[in-house]
Amino acid sequence: MTERELKEIIISAESYRLEKTMSTSNMDKFQEAICAFANDMHGKREKGYLLIGVTDDGKIGGLTIDDALMKRISGIRSDGNILPLPVMSTEKITTTQGDVLLVEVTPSFETPVRYRGRTFIRIGPRRDIASAEEERILSERCASSLPTFDTHPCRGASLNDIDIDAILNDYMPKAIAPEVLANDKRTLREQLASLHLYNSQYDCPTYASIIMFGKSPRYFLPGAYIQYVRFSGEDNSGEILNERRFESCLFKSLPIIESFISDAIITTRPVPVSILREQTVVNYPFKALRELLMNAVMHRDYQSNMPIRFYQYNNHIELMNPGGLYGQARPENFPHVNDYRNSVIAEIMRNLNYVNMFNHGIYEVGEQLRANNCPEPIFNVNLMTAFSVIVKEPVKKSLTNSGNVGDNVNHLENKEFIELLYQNNPHIGKACGKVGMSALIKVLLLCQNPTMVREIARLVGIKSRATLDRYILKPLRDDALLQFVIPGKPKHPKQKYVLSAKGYSTVEMFRQFFNRII
């Protein structure tokens, strides 16, 4: 810098990119200033200048800058007190009024920059420590200006480590218009690079390519898999009933995971909602579980060695993926605002119709769960390094509180029905005078699935086992409507009751009869 250029800077007032000082020994002040310029809070990408040997009113103070001071100031760059290391240069300018040491600082892309753990910024001509909100702005600016991890080169990998056929034959026709693909004469590497699946500079696949189409993703990313565990109880202390790992690339794993959810996790069962009607209830809606798992795959931190945890318990499922909320998404605005930690993976999953990227997934999960009578999902967005969600099974409605059953009790007094029922079930007639026909029919409806005695007792409100057996269970057994699940061992601790073939026919008779008279 010439003396003339220096004077043009000197006469300017202190601002967000200029600080003047006459001190030659206050190293804290110098490093705080350099840290503040590197953070570039104003975001204008303009270099900042620290002028040592200039007064606040813009006059050269007559200092002599020696080599020792030059070395101390230059050493700020690499002494480790300012991290990430700043990009800066120093220059001594000699004038007739004295020496000036010019420190030029380039704004950093990796913000926030900290001096001894504190983030300094410039607000106009003033230097200060950044607030939590200002630090968040610097962090988000860094995230938006740097490529996401999945775009980085996976050094050590080659084209032999990815499934080229899957990319060319299955993915590219879905990602690129047919006419464009037909006229594309570029080399394979150039085509892959245009999709962010290959890094031309380092001549290797990107991490997105390894994660989505790699032949062995865990060789490069040990945590890149999904761990499913089925516990027998309601927490991790229960016995492990099943365990499975999905370790292939996402292109192969995602359709397998969809089938696994449908075949191994989703169960259906008929639930009587009235004497006339059954309703098929699933433990978890498929679309809700699929959406949550796809979100976990898309948003997880693939640099972590922790897998996606897909844990199933007796009454709920818990999903946890490494990596908390990212970028613009924060606890106070979740789920209204989202951001993408893996932008390329998100785009590939969208092209393959696994996600829509409309920021509607969480709302759809809630709608699916409510439609299935499940409680609202429980999201934990306050974990620093992980994100979790708990999904619970549907709320079970007791038949004794079912309005539909009660509404139809009056029809049980119909003489035609009573004669029809008693025709082949004489023992029921004797029991009805004690407990009522409604209780007997409710028990038959409940025992369409194997049922413990305590559940039957709870349904009809009879605490005495002897009374329950005398007036309900024994008459139904004697008329061959109920049978033991474990024959010959009526007192077995795991004994259950279930309808016999005659019992199922009788329940069907209930439905046909009431469909006719109502």
DSSP character for 11?
A: T
Tokens of 457: 């007792």
> Are both 338 and 467 inside the same structural domain?
no
Separation between Cα atoms, residue 114 and residue 102, nearest integer Å: 22
The proportion of the chain whose per-residue pLDDT surpasses 70, expressed as a percent, equals 87
CA angle 185, 190, 192 (to 5 degrees): 110
What would the 3-class secondary structure string for 392-450 be? ECCCCCCHHHCHHHHHHHHHHHCHHHHHHHHCCCHHHHHHHHHHCHHHHHHHHHHCCCC
CATH number at residue 452: 1.10.10.10
- Per-residue pLDDT averaged across 71-84, rounded? 88
Q: Which residues pair with 321 in a beta bridge?
A: 387
Give the model's confidence band at 90: pLDDT under 50 very low, under 70 low, under 90 confident, else very high. Answer: very high
pLDDT of residue 407: 38
Q: Please compute the mean of the pLDDT values over residues 43-53 and round it to a whole number.
A: 90
Q: What is the pLDDT of residues 243-267, one digit of tens each?
A: 999 999 999 999 999 999 998 899 8
Same domain, 283 and 185: no
The highest-confidence range among 180-184, 307-311, 398-402, 458-462, by mean pLDDT, is 307-311
Residues 248, 311 within the same domain: yes
> Where is average pLDDT lowest: 88-97, 378-387, 468-477?
378-387
**217-246 tens-digit pLDDT:** 999 999 999 999 999 988 888 899 999 999
Going from the C-alpha of 228 to that of each of 173, 240, 243, 244, 466, the distances in angstroms are 32, 11, 6, 5, 44
Same structural domain for residues 158 and 296? no
User: What are residue 89's phi and psi, to 5 degrees?
Assistant: -140, 155
Distance between CA atoms of residues 117 and 424, nearest Å: 85
pLDDT in tens, 101-137: 999 999 998 888 999 888 999 998 889 998 887 887 8
H/E element, 144: helix 132-145
Alpha-carbon distance of 247 to 278, in angstroms, equals 41
From residue 64, how far is each of 25, 49, 113, 169, 221 by CA, in Å? 13, 19, 31, 71, 56
Please choose, from the candidates 514, 507, 506, 503, the residue with its C-alpha nearest in 3D space to the C-alpha of residue 407.
Answer: 514
- 73-77: average pLDDT: 90
Cβ neighbour number for residue 38 with a 10 Å cutoff:
27
Q: How many domains does the chain have?
A: 4
Backbone angles phi, psi at 164, to 5 degrees: -65, -40
- Domain shared by 414 and 351, yes or no: no
* Cα distance between the two ends of the chain: 98
Q: What angle do CA 429, 434, 435 make, to 5 degrees?
A: 95
CATH number (domain holding residue 75):
3.30.950
Burial of 472 (0-12, 13-18, 19+ CB in 10 A): buried
* In contact, 21 and 27? CB cutoff 8 Å: no
Mean of pLDDT values over 137-142: 76
The pLDDT, as a whole number, for residue 479 is 85
Q: Are residues 120 and 72 in the same domain?
A: yes
Domain-ending residue, one of 366, 392, 418: 392
Q: Are 427 and 479 in contact (CB under 8 A)?
A: yes
Residue 51, Cα to own-chain centre: how many angstroms? 49
* Residue 243's CATH number: 3.30.565.60
Q: Do 341 and 440 belong together in one domain? A: no
For residue 449, the SS3 value is coil
What pLDDT score was predicted for residue 357? 62
Show the CA angle centred on residue 340, arms to residues 246 and 176, nearest 5°.
80
Same domain, 377 and 422: no
Give the β-pairing of 386-392 and 316-322. antiparallel
97/166 same-domain check? no
Q: Which of 127, 145, 163 is the last residue of a domain?
A: 145
Residue ranges making up the domain that contains 469? 399-517
pLDDT at 277: 56
Closest listed residue to residue 88, CA positions, set 71, 72, 69, 108: 108
Residue 445 half-sphere exposure toward CB, CA atoms < 13 A: 26
Q: Read off the tokens for 477.
A: 């057994």
216 & 318 share domain: no
**Are residue 213 and residue 278 in the same domain, yes or no?**
no
**268-294 pLDDT per residue, tens:** 776 655 544 556 778 899 999 999 999
* Whether residue 235 sits in one domain with residue 98: no
Residue 54 DSSP class: B
* Boundary of a domain, candidates 327, 360, 392: 392
At 433, the pLDDT band (50, 70, 90 cuts) reads: low
Using an 8 Å Cβ cutoff, are 262 and 269 in contact?
no
Q: For residue 302, which of 382, 214, 381 has the smallest C-alpha distance?
A: 214
Alpha-carbon span 16 to 22, nearest angstrom: 19
